[in-house]
Amino acid sequence: MPFLPFYIPRLKRLKIVVVGGGYAGIAALVTLLRHMPEADVVIIDPRFEHLKITHLHETFRYPLDDFLIPFSILENRFGCRHVCAELNPSESVLRQWQNDRFLEVNNEILEFDYLLLASGSPVMQVNKPENVFDLLDFMAISGSDVFHEWLNKPGAIARSVSVIGGGATGIQFLFEIAHFLRRYQIGCNLRLVHGENRVLNQFPIGFSTYTQSKMTELGIEFFPDTRYLGQQGEQILLGDNLTGREFNLHSSISFLFIGKKLETRFSANIFGQVVVEGTVLPNIFAAGDCCIYRAPGSNTMTAQSAVRKGMLSARNILRHSGALRLLEPYLHRDLGYVVSLGPMDAIGWLALEGNVVGGMPAMVIKELVEAQYDLLLTGLDTYLV
């Protein structure tokens, strides 16, 4: 059995329920079963597959199936169980679960010793016409299929394409779309609409400078300080943040990336245990985008932080169940961040946020990070504690 410091087993077979099968949930699952193979782990998730959501922009090059891992495969690989359901508990429900040590789902009672909330943060949804797509659409259909299906409609001509949102997700989709249009020789105007004065404004300015220069090279039109107001037919309605002027532009297809909802993030202590109105729920932990740790470690809404929180909460569940109950604080600092700029380019930082790297060095970092997570999915943990 792999060594886990400060863990002296007291129970041979824990019952653990993990709500959410994203990055945090899977990282916790692998960690739990690595240190306690006999544990009875149930994953509750509304999907039938684990989705590597940070790869969705790559579906303009690869099939969506490349980024889906059926929970049935994970069940066979790790000996866990998947229950297809969606749970969105309130704080009062969490209190009840802490007292009862069971929950009901699909008319089944699931008893647990520990429960881990790893349900992520839902993508913001808006009402939109059929020629506007968002991240939820790409969870069901690949980027290449979106274009091919649209262009196969009678009389369809893609004269202009708009991407709304210049954050990391929007930028990654923007560059994949640009290369897709070139690869298939689809002649149309591509533009980016962003509400701030520069793209990737949550990162050092070097990110923006490099990315916007690459946009210019690809002939991508940029509308900074511009907000999206809606779309009717093939007209996109925009507003100038500086002057207040509203105007229309032609847009055959629009892609909307306006971020994640932050309404229901739970609070957790430095060890990952959920805190409700100042009271720690000792048998309920949280990890990933659904929670904020009151700790020095990173609370960024990234796959990197989700994986680290998932691992830490799993280790602390085992420690809490043991004889010593000496828990590990969450101190993880982000080691870097990379934004893909198409098949052969990227921009990122490594070790220190001011250490900005672009081009091939950033691509190498990206490939290493992705390979590390793929190894975790096979049960091989190469992450440093």
Per-residue pLDDT of 250-263, as tens digits, reads: 999 999 998 765 56
pLDDT of residue 156: 64
Residues 351 and 312 occupy one common structural domain? no
The answer as to whether 71 is a domain residue is yes
Residues 100 and 138 occupy one common structural domain? no
The answer as to whether 127 is a domain residue is no
pLDDT of residue 231: 95
Which residues make Cβ contacts (< 8 Å) with residue 166, sequence separation at least 6? 174, 192, 194, 195, 196, 198, 199, 200, 201, 224
Strand pairing of 15-19 and 40-45? parallel
Residues 110 and 209 occupy one common structural domain? no
pLDDT of residue 12: 73
- In this predicted model, what pLDDT tens digit does every residue of 63-108 receive, in sequence order? 999 999 999 999 999 999 999 999 989 999 999 999 999 999 999 9
Which residues make Cβ contacts (< 8 Å) with residue 154, sequence separation at least 6? none
pLDDT of residue 123: 66
Which residues make Cβ contacts (< 8 Å) with residue 380, sequence separation at least 6? none
Residue 235: how many CB atoms within 10 A of its CB?
A: 11
Residues 241 and 156 occupy one common structural domain? yes
Residues 113 and 137 occupy one common structural domain? no
Residues 137 and 243 occupy one common structural domain? yes
130 burial via Cβ count (<10 Å: 0-12, 13-18, 19+): exposed
Residue 75: how many CB atoms within 10 A of its CB?
A: 14
pLDDT of residue 153: 77
pLDDT along the chain (385 residues), means of 10: 75 91 97 94 97 96 97 97 95 97 97 95 76 94 92 75 97 98 92 97 95 97 97 95 96 88 81 97 95 93 94 96 92 92 95 90 90 92 77
Domain enclosing residue 42, as ranges: 14-122+261-334
Residues 106 and 198 occupy one common structural domain? no
The answer as to whether 288 is a domain residue is yes
Look at the chain and report how many structural domains it folds into. 3
CATH of the domain at 183: 3.50.50.60
Which residues make Cβ contacts (< 8 Å) with residue 105, sequence separation at least 6? 44, 83, 85, 87
If we measure between CA atoms, which residue out of 246, 247, 252 comes closest to residue 233?
252
Residues 140 and 115 occupy one common structural domain? no
